[in-house]
Chain A
Amino acid sequence: EAGVTQFPSHSVIEKGQTVTLRCDPISGHDNLYWYRRVMGKEIKFLLHFVKESKQDESGMPNNRFLAERTGGTYSTLKVQPAELEDSGVYFCASSPSPWRWTEAFFGQGTRLTVV
């Protein structure tokens, strides 16, 4: 069974450009989460989808970040325009239900570097 897959694994962009990160969850997992780790700091929650609906987006830093999950399958996280402080590793996770963290899996992450 395929795990959570994220594309690209690494992206280097200039300040002011746009970047789109993609996450393919485990098939059948209705819950999809985005997290971010800025270097050396904690892994921070960004948002949570249940199918195609945003259940909780309280962790989104500002309106330069836009997450979508069309059709309740894969999700994209767009940063436009990117700023230097957006650099970090973006993780996606999926789970069959919101409370079953022992059954949640994380992707390998996308390392975003804004220069």
Chain B
Amino acid sequence: DQQVKQNSPSLSVQEGRISILNCDYTNSMFDYFLWYKKYPAEGPTFLISISSIKDKNEDGRFTVFLNKSAKHLSLHIVPSQPGDSAVYFCAASYTGTASKLTFGTGTRLQVTL
């Protein structure tokens, strides 16, 4: 039973355009969400997070939106750059299980010139 889902395995975007990566979750107890970026042969690195008390968090070119009623979050990258090409994982946790993150399957983003 996959509680965090990333239904798009891959996404291709032109440099300078907006990249939108989506994530859905099923467990309504999740109250903290994170996005990780992963390059080949490296571990995931933290990108941006959002608490369930907010609906938006912004950090430079990266913005995460949370729609609790739809159990949906998205990561917007504007403008996209070639260095953004990587696999992006959505992850979630809740206070009762703070010891672990539940990840999605990842979306491979390719930013083309």
Residues of chain A whose beta carbon lies under 8 Å from any beta carbon of chain B: 4, 9, 31, 33, 35, 40-45, 48, 55-56, 58-59, 91, 93, 98-99, 101-102, 104-109
Contact of B100 with A59 in the complex, beta carbons under 8 Å: yes
With contacts A42-B2, A42-B103, A45-B100 taken as known, whether A108 is within 8 angstroms of B43 at the C-beta atoms is: yes
Residues A56 and B45 in contact in the complex (CB < 8 Å), given A42-B4, A43-B89: no
Give 18 A-B contacts (CB < 8 Å), ordered by A residue. A31-B99, A42-B4, A42-B89, A42-B102, A42-B104, A43-B44, A43-B91, A45-B101, A55-B99, A58-B100, A91-B43, A98-B98, A99-B98, A101-B34, A101-B46, A105-B46, A106-B44, A108-B43
Q: What bracket does the count of chain B residues touching chain A fall in?
A: 20 to 34
Q: A56 and B41: CB pair below 8 A?
A: no
Chain A hits for B65, CB < 8 A: none
Q: A56 with B34: in contact, given A107-B43, A108-B41 (CB under 8 Å)? A: no
Q: List the count of A-B residue pairs having beta carbons below 8 Å apart.
A: 66
Contact of B103 among A9, A31, A43, A58 (CB under 8 A): A43
Chain B 86-113 residues near chain A, CB threshold 8 A: 89, 91, 93, 97-106
Additional pairs, 14, CB under 8 Å, beyond known A109-B41, A109-B43: A40-B9, A42-B89, A42-B102, A42-B104, A42-B105, A42-B106, A43-B106, A55-B99, A56-B99, A58-B100, A102-B34, A102-B49, A106-B45, A107-B43
The complex places the Cα of A105 from the Cα of B113 at a distance, in Å, of 31
What is the bound-complex CA distance between A11 and B64, given in angstroms? Answer: 37
How far is A9 from B42 in the complex, measured between Cα atoms in Å?
10
Most buried by B among A42, A56, A91, A98: A42
Task: Report the Cα distance A44→B104, complex, angstroms.
Answer: 9
- Residues in chain A near residue B99, CB distance under 8 A: 31, 33, 48, 55-56, 98
Q: How far is the CB of A61 from chain B (nearest CB, A)?
A: 15
Q: Which residues of B in the span 59-102 have a Cβ within 8 Å of any Cβ on A?
A: 89, 91, 93, 97-102
Contacts of A102 in B (CB 8 A): 34, 46, 49
CA distance A58 to B96 in the complex (A): 14
